[in-house]
A and B are shown apart, each in its own frame.
Chain A
Amino acid sequence: ETGVTQSPTHLIKTRGQQVTLRCSSQSGHNTVSWYQQALGQGPQFIFQYYREEENGRGNFPPRFSGLQFPNYSSELNVNALELDDSALYLCASSLETGAITDTQYFGPGTRLTVL
Chain B
Amino acid sequence: AQRVTQPEKLLSVFKGAPVELKCNYSYSGSPELFWYVQYSRQRLQLLLRHISRESIKGFTADLNKGETSFHLKKPFAQEEDSAMYYCALMDSSYKLIFGSGTRLLVRP
- Interface residues in chain A, defined as those with a beta carbon under 8 Å from any beta carbon in chain B: 2, 4, 33, 35, 40-45, 48, 56, 58, 90, 92, 97-101, 103-109
Interface assignment of B45: CB less than 8 Å from any CB of chain A: yes
List the B side residues contacting A90 at CB < 8 Å. Answer: 44
Q: Is the CB of B94 within 8 A of A42?
A: no
Q: How far is the CB of B30 from chain A (nearest CB, A)?
A: 11
Q: Does B70 contact A (CB under 8 A)?
A: no
B51 near A56: Cβ-Cβ < 8 Å: no
Name 5 extra pairs, CB < 8 A, besides A100-B94, A109-B43. A2-B45, A35-B96, A40-B100, A42-B101, A43-B96
Chain A contacts for B88, CB-based, 8 A: 42
Closest to A58 in B: B95
Scoring B residues 66 to 104 as 1 if CB is less than 8 Å from chain A, else 0, what string do you get? 000000000000000000001010100111111111000
Q: Which residues of B contact A (CB under 8 A)?
A: 4, 6, 9, 32, 43-46, 49, 51-52, 86, 88, 90, 93-101
A102 and B88 alpha carbons, distance in the complex (Å): 14
Establish whether residues A56 and B90, one from each chain, have CB atoms under 8 Å apart when the complex forms. no
A106–B90 touching, CB < 8 Å: no
Question: Is B95 a contact of A100 with CB atoms below 8 Å?
Answer: no
CB-based contact A56/B93 at 8 Å: yes
Report whether A98 and B98 are in contact in the complex, using a CB–CB cutoff of 8 Å.
Answer: no
Chain A minimum-CB-distance residue to B97 = A45
